[in-house]
Amino acid sequence: HIASSDLKNLVIRAIKNKKGKKITVEVDTIDQLRSILGLKFNTVLLDNMNLKNLKTAVKIAKKYYETEASGNVNLKTVKAIASTGVNRISIGSITHSATAVDFKLEI
């Protein structure tokens, strides 16, 4: 993972080159979040954080950014994650854990 100082520099470069596009920045620690606080981007993706850190991160970030939780999210944990106040939740298990169905259509 990227050190906080490197993350800040990457975000600054992305902001300079955004050309009207929205920017989402992924962080996995509170320190990374604090290092980019106040920079002008749209969404902070809070990756693989436990509920305590997620709640803290939302409290810190909500004044500046939309928030999204991702990583280790499944249908059993989504309600607790939603209670932290995040704006969005990504549930990868919906797609990467879906079972396949083999069928064919013939005309």
43: three-class secondary structure by DSSP: strand
Q: Which fold has domain 4-96?
A: TIM Barrel (3.20.20)
Contact between 27 and 36 under an 8 Å Cβ cutoff? The reply is yes
Contact between 77 and 51 under an 8 Å Cβ cutoff? The reply is no
pTM for the full model?
0.78
The mean pLDDT value for 73-97 works out to: 87
Half-sphere exposure of 101 (CA within 13 A, CB side): 3
pLDDT tens for 31-58 read 999 999 998 899 999 999 999 999 999 9
Q: What is the residue extent of each domain of the chain?
A: 4-96
pLDDT bucket at 94, cuts 50 / 70 / 90: low
